[in-house]
A and B are shown apart, each in its own frame.
Chain A
Amino acid sequence: MFVLASKVFSILLGAIVIAKSYVDFRSRLESLHMFLFWTLTWLLIIIVALFPGLVDLLLSAFGRERAGLGTFFGMAIVFLFFVVYRIYVKIEGMQQELTRTIQELALRDQWTANHRPEKRTLTPGAKPV
């Protein structure tokens, strides 16, 4: 029962991600590269969920070492953490860019010229606004 539920769960999630990715691709919110990457990744996940025996076949192809599904999923978790880290770094970078852009917007249009209480000369070397 649990095995069946896990299969249905994987297929459902995979279908949602692939459908969303396709819609985003058609709306030009997602590049072709990302659409292909996520579609292939989730197709692979669905295949492994439906036919877990394939993993044993794959692992046995690497030699006579004792390795099972646990090893495979361990590697998968490590890979996922790597992906999460990359996403985190990217979001952090984008957030900093966004912050700088909005700050520049706020300070733009000769704000200081219009709002200074009296004519003051900026000292040489003062940070540009």
Chain B
Amino acid sequence: MKSAPEQQKLVTVVIPAHNEAAAIGDVISRIPKTIERMQVVVIVVDDGSTDDTAQIARVFGAQVLRHVTNLGAGAATVTGLKAAQALNADVIVTIDADGQHDPEEIERLVQCLLEGPFDVVIGSRILSPQGMPLTRFVANLLLNALTFVAYRKIVSDSQSGFKVFSQAAANALDLRSAGYEICSEIIGEIYRKNLRYKSVPVKPIYTEYSRAKGQHFLNGVNLILGLLTRWVRHT
């Protein structure tokens, strides 16, 4: 009797994007089509963009979900994670849309997750800081410290948007943040849910574009306020 063919495993790459028409195509085109014989599906969450982000993402073969208005990077990430869970994805990757990460490194991080085995792999720019502006480096260290104060967990790059989750880890996460503070909240969830994690060095790519699109000072203030709010609520 023939047994049913084994279903191919699925990796979904979630890209939250807001007005990233200039970079999104290049990011999607550099994502591997298969990883470890697993199929790769790219989900772009267009977070209320006013440019052609969604159309360009579709042209490059991504599945696109659209927020009718801009909610923030955190909310877009959560939407993408939910879509990936609905697809029953075995591995879920999150990566920034501004080209700050090298999509070709996804394969290495996924392999690390599978071989660990780990629940979460964090792509750490701090472990490989060549090319990272000093101000960003220092700001990230300060935010690591703040994340530690809020969530009692120290990691080398708490603000990295480049992460890989196992299916179980994605199901375990209970995320509420709408803004950039989601990165710290994920670290808090790793601690609360006792997830196995590893930080892996990734190459930070800082172009004029990605620096302009990155976190601004006011975002930093919002991030601190958001973290404080959540910290007060959790204590």
To the question of whether A and B form a pair in one complex, the answer is: yes
**Does B82 sit at the interface, judged by CB under 8 A?**
yes
Residue numbers in A under 8 Å from B66 (CB-CB): 106
Shortest distance between the CB of B14 and any CB in chain A (Å): 13
The contact string, 1 if C-beta is below 8 Å from chain A, for chain B 66-101, is: 111101000100110011011110000000000000
Q: Are B69 and A107 in contact (CB under 8 A)?
A: no
Q: Are B75 and A112 in contact (CB under 8 A)?
A: no
Shortest distance between the CB of A125 and any CB in chain B (Å): 9
**Does A51 sit at the interface, judged by CB under 8 A?**
no
| Central interface residue in A98, A99, A126, by most chain B CB within 10 Å | A99
Select one of A98, A105, A120 contacting B87, CB under 8 A: A120
**Does B164 sit at the interface, judged by CB under 8 A?**
no
Q: Are A103 and B79 in contact (CB under 8 A)?
A: yes
Q: Are A102 and B7 in contact (CB under 8 A)?
A: no
Shortest distance between the CB of B69 and any CB in chain A (Å): 6
Q: Are A102 and B69 in contact (CB under 8 A)?
A: yes
**Does B178 sit at the interface, judged by CB under 8 A?**
yes
Shortest distance between the CB of B4 and any CB in chain A (Å): 12
Q: Are B83 and A99 in contact (CB under 8 A)?
A: no
Q: Are B79 and A117 in contact (CB under 8 A)?
A: no
A106 vs B68: C-alpha distance when bound (angstroms):
8
Shortest distance between the CB of B196 and any CB in chain A (Å): 21
Q: Are A129 and B82 in contact (CB under 8 A)?
A: yes
Residue numbers in A under 8 Å from B67 (CB-CB): 102-103, 105-106
Residue numbers in A under 8 Å from B150 (CB-CB): none
Nearest CB to that of B83 among chain A residues?
A: A107
Q: Are B71 and A117 in contact (CB under 8 A)?
A: no
Q: For the side of the interface on A, what is the size category?
A: 20 to 34
**Does B39 sit at the interface, judged by CB under 8 A?**
yes
**Does A127 sit at the interface, judged by CB under 8 A?**
yes
Select one of A99, A107, A117 contacting B65, CB under 8 A: A107
Q: Are B10 and A103 in contact (CB under 8 A)?
A: no
Residue numbers in B under 8 Å from A98 (CB-CB): 71
A115 vs B75: C-alpha distance when bound (angstroms):
21
Shortest distance between the CB of A88 and any CB in chain B (Å): 9
Residue numbers in B under 8 Å from A5 (CB-CB): none
Asked, given contacts A99-B178, A127-B171, whether A92 binds B229 with beta carbons under 8 Å apart, the answer is: yes
Residue numbers in B under 8 Å from A103 (CB-CB): 67, 71, 75, 78-79, 82
**Does A95 sit at the interface, judged by CB under 8 A?**
yes
**Does A27 sit at the interface, judged by CB under 8 A?**
no
Q: Which residues of A contact B (CB under 8 A)?
A: 92, 95-96, 98-99, 102-103, 105-107, 111-112, 115-118, 120-123, 126-127, 129
